[in-house]
Amino acid sequence: MNLSDNARGALMMAAAMAAFTLNDTMLKLVSDDLPLFQAMFLRGVLTTLAFLLLAWRLGALAVAIAPADRRLIGWRVLAETGAAFFFLTALFNMPLANVTAILQALPLTVTLAGALFLRESVGWRRLLAIAVGFVGVMLIVRPDADGFDRFAIMALIAVAFVTLRDLVTRRMSAGVPSMTVALATAGGVTLFALIGGVTEDWARPSPANWAALSGAVVFIIAAYLLSVMAMRVGELGFVSPFRYTGLIWALVLGFLVFGDWPDGVTLLGAALVVGTGLFTLYREHRLARNLARAAQPRA
């Protein structure tokens, strides 16, 4: 059976989202036994070594990088470090599906930030979709009698850091190897975890902990590679919506592994976020297509 490029890209993106969610699941499994920074450091060491080997095999270590791109890589490392810390803090203390649902706001925040900071054109329809999407986020992180859950706020801060990361990535030159960026990011997060680890009493990992951490490394590398391949194989507008399959994986794994299932209001909020995100991706794809048509010379 011969699949089209878009079909192959969609399958790769769905597989990438499954791998990302399995990585999160593996890390959450060790949260009762290992402190946060220790878990970050151990996974980071294994991930950095794996990326170092891949970068060496691909020749990404010998690439000359312009000073401007070096600065952008530095900012990206800082953004990824902040995102990793706040996301994992939320993940260690919240149901998997709830954290994942909050992260689905990323297409909305990136679109809004692009309009505010990069002067990208955003019409009133997408602005309305962003507003509705943020209503959905508020339904997910809604306050109880004691106020907003601080871990839900940390998940929102993680979204802000990932948005910054994506904006910085957009400014990088096309010639900067993705593997080089991934290696620098993994190394930066690992160093941050090592420094933060001095504030914790580390525990001796059990064989089950090592198995979960090793699985997390395998899944995060697979997720990275699959997501890159997906975007290079299929059309952006067709492949990108399949990012939302990660929420389905989070619901299933959260229920099967941890016995968690979101309540009706949280599911409604997640549906609003996903729906408005899909609409935003559709509008961006349609705008790009119209611009491409306008740029074509007329016969």
Q: What is the pLDDT of residue 145?
A: 47
pLDDT in tens, 65-74: 889 999 999 9
Q: 147 by DSSP, 3-state: which?
A: strand
Q: Which pTM was predicted? A: 0.85
Q: 144 by DSSP, 3-state: which?
A: strand
Amino acid letter at 189? V
- CA dist 19 and 4 (Å) reads 23
Do residues 181 and 73 touch, judged by C-beta distance below 8 A?
yes
pLDDT at 80 over 80: yes
Report which listed range, 21-25, 246-250, 270-274, is most confident: 21-25
pLDDT at 11 over 80: yes
Tell me the CA distances in angstroms from 126 to 94, 176, 185, 275, 278, one per residue in order: 30, 31, 31, 12, 11
Neighbours of 144 (CB within 10 A): 7
Do residues 251 and 262 touch, judged by C-beta distance below 8 A?
yes
Q: 173 by DSSP, 3-state: which?
A: coil
What are the boundaries of each domain within the chain? 64-171+263-299
Do residues 61 and 49 touch, judged by C-beta distance below 8 A?
no
Do residues 100 and 274 touch, judged by C-beta distance below 8 A?
no
